[in-house]
């Protein structure tokens, strides 16, 4: 079974306000479009096609890092954009989901449920919500109540048997416009199975919608705490680099990179809170390109991973463990550098130091060690 998802992200989104089109604006620290891509990925979808406006190619590339994503150029209408996305769906696909980028509250559970509906024999399935308000048809002076029991609000993603959707699109006239894809297959006589919708799948349409959605989506955010430890051996040299600050010393630190144990421990702490392995997995010591590397690069990489995951670093705390050099005189400079790279306030960054009372390898000044904690807010 091959499952493909098409995300329609071609809109210019003027109504939602802001300097960027809404699908590229940050929602809880992550581009709106990236939330849907992450949900499809987490659900195990095989192919994700993002249909974006050709002039937004750079924005779209910057917003997405998934290797599963391919891009298609959008058309003049939603229907034309879906058609462009469908043309790139793998021939082997048996299930196709079509989703609007402006609905970033998508969960992987919803994706799996919809795929299950189609695999269970339904030709089409979509989430829908009942309407709690009274509905009126209001034409000037006359008002008629509509029976809301028979009304539902249809959301996306909408899931289809691939052959059903392809045949329905092949049968419609090229110039005909449809508001969604259920209406395309309905034109071919196929009714969808409607499943329970999700308020978080609300569509960002107006400027205030993003704030409402952030509240809905942040309800299930967690606080994750990661820790990291690192040590480097002293060798010949006349300075050490710790938390991005060069400190004169009668020794240097040995390491493949600049041997900044403070930031290495901090990178591991951030990766730990993200569940992203350790620094060695991201920057293998066997790779010559990291020889002598400035560890700022590693820290910025960890920050970028956090941002891509929609996580926010709340606080970091680094402890340096050594007899010498004395850390105290350089502590504030280390805090400032770390805060600068991570884009945090000084009050959210702690750097402190301790000795081991001359015990052990640190006490004998064979090397220097660091320990770090990072507190992040992120999706579970
Ligand atoms: Mg290290």
Question: By percentage, how much of the chain surpasses pLDDT 70?
Answer: 98
Distance 292 CA to ligand 1 centre (A): 12
Residue 17: per-residue pLDDT: 61
Sort strands 47-52 and 3-9 into parallel, antiparallel or unpaired: parallel
**Alpha-carbon separation of residue 107 from 18, 30, 36, 41 (angstroms):** 26, 15, 8, 10
Distance 116 CA to ligand 1 centre (A): 46
Distance 295 CA to ligand 1 centre (A): 9
Contacts of 149 (CB under 8 A, 6+ apart): none
Would the pLDDT of 18 be above 80? Answer: no
Distance 286 CA to ligand 1 centre (A): 13
Would the pLDDT of 14 be above 60? Answer: no
Would the pLDDT of 6 be above 70? Answer: yes
Distance 231 CA to ligand 1 centre (A): 6
Residue 309: per-residue pLDDT: 82
- Ranking 59-68, 124-133, 305-314, 332-341 by mean pLDDT, the lowest is 59-68
Distance 309 CA to ligand 1 centre (A): 24
Residue 207: per-residue pLDDT: 85
Residue 15: per-residue pLDDT: 56
Tens of pLDDT, residue by residue over 209-224, are 999 999 888 877 899 9
Distance 261 CA to ligand 1 centre (A): 5
Distance 244 CA to ligand 1 centre (A): 13
Distance 279 CA to ligand 1 centre (A): 8
Would the pLDDT of 100 be above 90? Answer: yes
Contacts of 14 (CB under 8 A, 6+ apart): none
Question: By percentage, how much of the chain surpasses pLDDT 90?
Answer: 75
Q: How confident is the model at residue 61 (pLDDT cuts 50, 70, 90)?
A: confident
Q: Where are the beta strands (DSSP E) in 182-306?
A: 193-196, 222-235, 239-242, 245-248, 252-253
Distance 39 CA to ligand 1 centre (A): 34
- Angstrom distance (rounded) from CA 378 to CA 28: 9
Distance 234 CA to ligand 1 centre (A): 12
Q: How confident is the model at residue 310 (pLDDT cuts 50, 70, 90)?
A: confident
pTM value > 0.85 = no
Would the pLDDT of 166 be above 80? Answer: yes
Tens of pLDDT, residue by residue over 222-262, are 999 999 999 999 999 999 999 999 999 999 999 988 999 99
Sort strands 312-321 and 349-354 into parallel, antiparallel or unpaired: parallel
Distance 56 CA to ligand 1 centre (A): 39
Distance 296 CA to ligand 1 centre (A): 13
The mean predicted confidence, pLDDT, of the chain is: 93
Distance 71 CA to ligand 1 centre (A): 38
Distance 359 CA to ligand 1 centre (A): 22
Residue 11: per-residue pLDDT: 75
Residue 185: per-residue pLDDT: 96
Q: How confident is the model at residue 16 (pLDDT cuts 50, 70, 90)?
A: low
What are phi and psi for residue 258, nearest 5 degrees? -80, 5
DSSP assignment string, 92-141: T-SEEEEEETT-TT--HHHHHHHHHHHHTT-SEEEEEEE--S-EEEEETT
Tens of pLDDT, residue by residue over 313-325, are 999 999 999 999 9
């Amino acid at each position: 079974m091959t499952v493909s998802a098409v995300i329609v992200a071609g809109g210019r989104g003027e109504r939602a306000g802001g300097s960027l089109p809404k699908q590229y604006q940050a929602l809880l620290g992550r581009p709106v479009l990236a939330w849907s891509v992450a949900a499809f990925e987490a659900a195990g979808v095989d192919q994700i096609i993002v249909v974006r406006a050709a002039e937004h190619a750079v924005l779209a590339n910057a917003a997405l890092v998934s290797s599963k994503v391919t891009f298609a150029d959008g058309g003049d209408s939603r229907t034309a954009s879906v058609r462009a996305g469908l043309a790139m769906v793998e021939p082997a696909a048996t299930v196709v989901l079509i989703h609007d980028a402006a609905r970033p509250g998508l969960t992987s559970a919803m994706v799996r449920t919809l795929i299950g509906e189609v695999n269970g024999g339904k030709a089409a399935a979509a989430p829908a919500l009942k309407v709690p308000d009274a509905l009126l048809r209001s034409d000037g002076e006359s008002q008629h109540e509509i029976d809301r029991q028979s009304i539902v609000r249809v959301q996306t993603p909408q899931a289809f048997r691939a052959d059903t959707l392809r045949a329905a699109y092949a049968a419609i006239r090229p110039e005909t416009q449809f508001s969604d894809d259920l209406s395309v297959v309905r034109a071919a006589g196929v009714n969808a199975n409607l499943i329970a919708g999700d308020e978080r799948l609300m569509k960002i349409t107006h400027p205030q919608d993003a704030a409402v959605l952030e509240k809905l989506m942040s309800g299930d955010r967690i606080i994750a705490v990661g820790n990291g430890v690192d040590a480097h051996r002293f060798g010949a040299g006349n300075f050490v680099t710790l938390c991005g600050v060069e400190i004169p010393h009668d020794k240097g630190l040995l390491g493949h990179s600049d041997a900044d144990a403070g930031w290495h421990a901090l990178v591991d702490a951030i990766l730990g809170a993200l569940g992203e392995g350790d620094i060695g997995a991201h920057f293998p010591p066997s790779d010559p390109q990291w020889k002598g590397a400035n560890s700022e690069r590693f820290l910025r990489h960890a920050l970028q991973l956090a941002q891509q995951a929609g996580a926010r670093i709340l606080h970091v705390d680094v402890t340096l463990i050594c007899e010498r050099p004395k850390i105290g005189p350089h502590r504030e400079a280390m805090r400032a550098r770390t805060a600068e790279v991570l884009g945090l306030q000084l009050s959210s960054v702690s750097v402190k130091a301790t000795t081991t009372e001359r015990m052990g390898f640190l006490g004998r000044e064979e090397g220097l060690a660091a320990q770090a904690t990072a507190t992040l807010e992120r999706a579970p």
